[in-house]
A and B are shown apart, each in its own frame.
Chain A
C-alpha cells in the first residue's frame, strides 16, 4: 500500500513554544491530507482537511490560528501547533489518499506524540 510518513514521531516542548509536524506521502501525490487528534483511549477526531495550494478546512471547534496547516506541495502537509500549552498534549495523526476522493482508502502516518511541559 501507499506510504505516509510523519515526523517527528514524538516531541517534548515548553509551554508557549511552537511545534511543527510534517506529513509526507512518500510514493504518491496527495491533493488532500487530513489531520486528526487522538487523546488516550479515545477515537480519532478530525481537526482539518488540508488541500494542496489552498486554505485548509477546519472542523468546528478547532482554532485555525492555533493549529496552522500548510499544504504547499502534493506530497507534504504541515501542522504547526502555535504557542503550545499542556492541554495541547496529544497524539496527532495525518492521513492521505492515493486515489482522490473516489478511491476511498486512507493511509495514515505513524503519528506524532506531543507533550507540552
Chain B
C-alpha cells in the first residue's frame, strides 16, 4: 500500500519568513495530494490540494508543487503569520480511496 513520508517533523520560523514542508509517496498510482492543517484538538482542514495532472498550484500565500517522477510534493507558505502555527499533514491517495497521511509537521511561527 501507499506510504507517505513527511519532513520535517517540527519547523520554527520567524513571522514573515517562508516555510516549506516536503512529502514523498511510494505508490505511483496515487493521483490526489491534499494538505491539511490541524489545530490542537480540532478536525483537519483542507488548505490546498493538487492532482497528478498539475505540477503546481497556488492559493494566496500557500502553494503546492508536485514532482510525479520523483514522487514528492511540497507545501510552501510565504509571509508566515502566527495564526499559521498548527500541525500540517500531507496525504496521498487514488481518488479518495486508501488515503494515507504523513506523520505531520508542527509549524511554529514566532511573532
Contact = CB atoms under 8 A, between A and B. Distances in A.
Nearest to B87: A41
Contact of A93 (B44, B102, B104): B44
B42 A43 contact: no
Interface in B56-75: none
Interface size class of B (residues with CB under 8 A): 20 to 34
Interface footprint category on A: 20 to 34
Given A104-B34, A104-B51, A42 B96 contact: no
Contacts of A103: 95-96
Interface in A34-58: 34, 41-46, 49
Closest 7 CB pairs of A and B: A101-B95, A108-B43, A97-B96, A104-B32, A44-B101, A43-B103, A43-B101
Interface of B: 32, 34, 36, 41-46, 49, 51, 89, 93, 95-104, 106
18 contacts: A34-B99, A41-B106, A42-B103, A42-B104, A43-B102, A43-B103, A44-B89, A46-B98, A91-B41, A101-B96, A103-B95, A103-B96, A104-B32, A104-B34, A104-B96, A106-B99, A110-B42, A111-B43
